[in-house]
Chain A
Amino acid sequence: DAGVIQSPRHEVTEMGQEVTLRCKPISGHDYLFWYRQTMMRGLELLIYFNNNVPIDDSGMPEDRFSAKMPNASFSTLKIQPSEPRDSAVYFCASSLLDRTSEQFFGPGTRLTVL
């Protein structure tokens, strides 16, 4: 398996623009997680899905952030409009058994909002 795939790897955009991050989880994994990593706050869970259904989005910072999982092999995280404070590395992860089992992380998307 190729592991968790994320695109793009790097994104530079201007404040106010819409940003869409993409993730393909490992085939057969029922759980998908979106995280954000910054130097100040470390790795923070934004939202997670089970069988394509959003279960907990309490970590989503505000209404500018939204996430979808239209099928088992694809998820998006959208920021609209983007702000400089959204600059961070965004990781997608998936797990097989349940939400307490080991999570496999993608390589991340480094987002810079100017």
Chain B
Amino acid sequence: EDQVTQSPEALRLQEGESSSLNCSYTVSGLRGLFWYRQDPGKGPEFLFTLYSAGEEKEKERLKATLTKKESFLHITAPKPEDSATYLCAVYNTDKLIFGTGTRLQVFP
């Protein structure tokens, strides 16, 4: 069965304290891995798409990487405005499957 697991479920960081979020997956026919950010009361907002192992993408303080079994979202020197839930999703041959997310809180 296709599955996406994110860890940790919740993460509390001090402003400036770098860390990583994990997304592990088992899926047949991976066609892409997506990272989204979701703020409370809003819809998910697209961040990155990764298609093949070894691929990396960066946006401001965020960097996403992909291996054959997992993806990491690295957050460098986070700020309070980075607080959100980060969702990982994988596209198999049919549809987008989401993980349950990591809820990140960054304190000043």
Contacts and interface: CB of A to CB of B under 8 A. Distances in A.
Given A42-B101, A100-B32, A106 B46 contact: no
Contacts of B101: 42
A107 B43 contact: yes
A105 B100 contact: no
Q: Which of A33, A41, A59, A99 has the most CB of B within 10 A?
A: A99
Interface stretch (B15-23, B60-68, B71-79, B88-96): B88-96
A61 B27 CA distance: 22
Interface residues of B, number: 21
B24 interface: no
Interface string A88-101: 00010100000111
B92 to A, nearest CB: 10
Nearest to A35: B98
Interface of B: 31-32, 34, 41-46, 49, 87, 89, 91, 94-101
